[in-house]
């Protein structure tokens, strides 16, 4: 599940996913809030490191 930080709370996003060659995968979503946003991938209580993305 892809999550976005919104005011200190992690919100799940609707995404399109695609499994690529090997163990790689891609998640795609549209974000309408401009500026730097924080994302992470979560599964249960386990989650990835936060990734900062600048939306223009």
In angstroms, rounded to a whole number, what is the distance separating the alpha carbons of residues 44 and 56? 31
Q: What pLDDT does residue 48 have?
A: 95
> Once rounded to an integer, what is the mean pLDDT over residues 47-56?
93
> Once rounded to an integer, what is the mean pLDDT over residues 37-55?
94
DSSP 26: E
- Minimal CA–CA distance to 47: which of 7, 6, 12? 12
Residue corresponding to tokens 């090997």 = 22
Residue corresponding to tokens 């979503």 = 29
Q: What pLDDT does residue 32 have?
A: 85
Q: What pLDDT does residue 49 have?
A: 97
């Amino acid at each position: 599940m892809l999550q976005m930080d919104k005011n200190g709370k992690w919100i799940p996003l609707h995404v399109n996913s695609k499994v690529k060659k090997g163990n790689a995968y891609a998640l795609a979503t549209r974000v309408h809030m401009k500026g730097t946003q924080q994302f992470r991938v979560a599964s249960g209580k386990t989650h990835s490191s936060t990734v900062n993305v600048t939306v223009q």
